[in-house]
Chain A
Amino acid sequence: AQTVTQSQPEMSVQEAETVTLSCTYDTSESDYYLFWYKQPPSRQMILVIRQEAYKQQNATENRFSVNFQKAAKSFSLKISDSQLGDAAMYFCAYRGYGGSQGNLIFGKGTKLSVKP
Chain B
Amino acid sequence: DAGVTQSPTHLIKTRGQQVTLRCSPKSGHDTVSWYQQALGQGPQFIFQYYEEEERQRGNFPDRFSGHQFPNYSSELNVNALLLGDSALYLCASSLASVFYEQYFGPGTRLTVT
Which A residues lie at the B interface, using CB under 8 A?
4, 33, 37, 42-47, 50, 52, 91, 93, 95, 98-109
On whether A102 and B107 interact (CB within 8 A), knowing A43-B88, A45-B90, the answer reads: no
In the bound complex, what is the Cα–Cα distance between A114 and B50 (angstroms)?
Answer: 40
B28 within 8 A of A: no
B70 vs chain A, min Cβ distance (A): 20
A-B contacts besides A52-B100, A108-B41, 7 pairs, CB < 8 Å: A45-B104, A100-B56, A102-B99, A104-B45, A104-B92, A106-B44, A108-B40
Pick the contact of B42 from A98, A102, A103, A107 — CB < 8 Å?
A107
13 contacts between A and B (CB under 8 A): A33-B100, A42-B106, A43-B88, A43-B107, A43-B109, A50-B101, A52-B100, A103-B58, A104-B33, A104-B35, A104-B102, A108-B40, A109-B42
- Which of chain A's residues has its CB closest to B96's CB? A99
Interface of B is mostly: strand
B48 within 8 A of A: yes
- Which of chain B's residues has its CB closest to A103's CB? B45
Pick the contact of A103 from B33, B88, B109 — CB < 8 Å?
B33
Pick the contact of B43 from A45, A50, A99 — CB < 8 Å?
A45
Do the beta carbons of B55 and A102 come within 8 Å of each other?
yes
Convert B61-95 into 0s and 1s, putting 1 for each residue whose CB lies closer than 8 angstroms to a CB of A. Answer: 00000000000000000000000000010101000
In the bound complex, what is the Cα–Cα distance between A45 and B88 (angstroms)?
Answer: 12
B105 within 8 A of A: yes
In the bound complex, what is the Cα–Cα distance between A104 and B88 (angstroms)?
Answer: 16
Residues of A within 8 A of B55 (CB): 100, 102
Do the beta carbons of A102 and B105 come within 8 Å of each other?
no
Pick the contact of A106 from B43, B99, B100 — CB < 8 Å?
B43
B76 vs chain A, min Cβ distance (A): 15
On whether A95 and B104 interact (CB within 8 A), knowing A103-B33, A103-B48, the answer reads: no
In the bound complex, what is the Cα–Cα distance between A99 and B50 (angstroms)?
Answer: 10
On whether A44 and B43 interact (CB within 8 A), knowing A102-B99, A103-B56, the answer reads: no
In the bound complex, what is the Cα–Cα distance between A19 and B19 (angstroms)?
Answer: 41
